[in-house]
Amino acid sequence: MLRPLAAPRVAPSSRSLKVRGMSEQLQNWWRGGVIYQVYPRSFFDSNGDGVGDLPGVLHKLDYIASLNVDAIWLSPFFTSPMKDFGYDVADYRGVDPLFGTLDDFVRLVEACHERGMRVLIDQVLNHSSDQHPWFVESRSSRDNDKADWYVWADPKPDGTVPNNWLSVFGGPAWSWDSRRRQYYLHNFLSSQPDLNFHCPAVQDQLLDDMEFWLKLGVDGFRLDAANFYFHDLELRDNPPNLEIREGSIGVRVDNPYAYQRHIYDKTRPENLAFLRRLRALLQRYPGASSVAEIGCDESLRTMAAYTSGGDTLHMAYSFDLLTEQCSPAYIRRTVEGIERELADGWSCWSMGNHDVVRVMTRWALDGRPDPERGRVLMALLLSLRGSVCLYQGEELGLPEAELRYEDLVDPYGITFWPEFKGRDGCRTPMPWESEAHHAGFTGSQPWLPVDDSHRSLSVAAQDADPHSMLNCYRRFLGWRREQRLLIEGDIRMVYHDDALLVFERRLGEEAWLCLFNLGDLPRSYELPAQAVPLVDVPASFAEYDDHWARLPAHGFGYARLAR
């Protein structure tokens, strides 16, 4: 059994972070910050049970710090029956024994702070597990203390469901409970009943639970399904979606969920009042921040509403770069749409997470993941205006793992197989050593198999190669940290065609032209007469002559625009 790195025990009320201060710059670390998402189940197994855990994250923390990121985001580690692998919480203040103990978590937070990194944790507020004591009590009768903590509704006169709302995971969003003789709402699995945010006691309890973690030292929260919290009290039917298109709302069109416009079951106006209460809580802990997942038909407008004004969320991300669409035209349209809508709000960009096919496969040309393409996607993502979330393994250039049906554990994938293979392919274990048993992730059978294609991309193999994707990420992220223009500057799109995307970043009197060749053939772009090429950019491989930028396939470059 591996022993985690030693770290002092921190008192639950401690806020003495080396990284935290009262200066505005430290409080606003999240503006342009880079957040590394850790999926604990698949990161590193410290005790040999086949599942990654918090001591495993602690054991590999120096690796994360070597990437030059600003924070880590931990996917759920809470007490859970694991029907949805932690996104079904049975205790909002408990660490599931599968992942360790509360002391393990506190040691991890302190160790992150010692290395200058913040810690964000997932908060799954929309729903709990059906095994949570709150739901057990709520379903027991119609007149108990928590009777209205979940969304209950009587059947129609013919016994059918209250309305036409659908679950993201397929089928009606309502399940029958024989004890109450009512239906309960679940936007996801039937084992994930929706909490009733129209009940003030629910809001109070959830905010208290979040403050519990703030007192332990966390630096903020990633909010799962943040636009799902409230529902229409009249339970009106959703209208049909007459403009169905692949990837339009982050849900495949072979799922009936995409056939509705979800205007009554989520993204309700009441959400903003709760987000203001949440922001008021965070403001009592200087430097604490929030980033929310937004999944809806009008995601850009919702992001603006949820992050503008300085009194709701700090930042939000949508599914707009998590689809299969990746043309320069699409990326330009997405960025311009966000910039147009956001006003004083703030976006957080991501090209991958634990819910979508890995970007190296999803955005591959001709279906073949190419390391060179991985580099230009890295540079593009980290050059946009906003903050960034990187999903574990992106820095290794991992493609989507190919799994057999019998290997699947994701209920989403099992339901929609074979047209949709679920989320397991992006959740397989991190490959630490190429030749080691299970790629060094565990000493026993892992909860998901290690993909053979990942072995040659292991951390150990890339660590020794100065030209590897991993070392490219390290150098580029280290370089970006010193470029305030990329972190704070404005953005303006300049040009695009079938392969090239060109935009300007500007901060005060300084301006750069940022050029990206997303195609698989060399391309050239004529620079303005006053442009001065930046030649010290890690891994750019661009060449310049006679005011022309020569970009190789999957190449990128930058030029300073002289005044």
Strands (E), 303-428: 315-317, 348-349, 387-391
* Catalytic residue from among 84, 224, 395, 410: 224
Tell me the pTM.
0.94
> Which uninterrupted H or E stretch holds 20?
none
pLDDT at residue 20 tops 80: no
Q: Supply the pLDDT for residue 252.
A: 56
Higher pLDDT, 555 or 415: 555
pLDDT at residue 21 tops 50: no
pLDDT tens profile 344-375: 999 999 999 999 999 999 999 988 899 999 99
Q: Supply the pLDDT for residue 245.
A: 54
Percent of the chain with pLDDT over 70: 94
Backbone Cα Rg of the chain? 23
Among 420, 83, 89, smallest CA distance to 258 is for: 420
Q: Supply the pLDDT for residue 247.
A: 46
137-144 average pLDDT score: 98
pLDDT at residue 3 tops 50: no
The residue behind tokens 């995409």 is 258
Tell me what the pLDDT averaged over the chain comes to.
93
Pairing of strands 91-95, 543-545: unpaired
Write out 157-216 in H/E/C secondary structure: CCCCCCCCCECCCCCECEEEECCCCEEEECCCCCCCCEECCCCHHHHHHHHHHHHHHHHC
Read off the pLDDT band of 31 (50, 70, 90).
very high
| 324 has catalytic annotation | no
CA angle 381, 384, 385 (to 5 degrees): 140
For the chain, list the domains and their CATH numbers: 24-127+198-481 (3.20.20.80), 128-194 (3.90.400.10), 490-561 (2.60.40.1180)
pLDDT at residue 212 tops 50: yes
| 400 has catalytic annotation | no
Alpha-carbon span 60 to 57, nearest angstrom: 5
Q: Quick one: DSSP state of residue 427?
A: S
Q: Supply the pLDDT for residue 250.
A: 46
248-270 average pLDDT score: 82
* Catalytic residue from among 96, 219, 293, 410: 293
**Amino acid occupying residue 201:** A
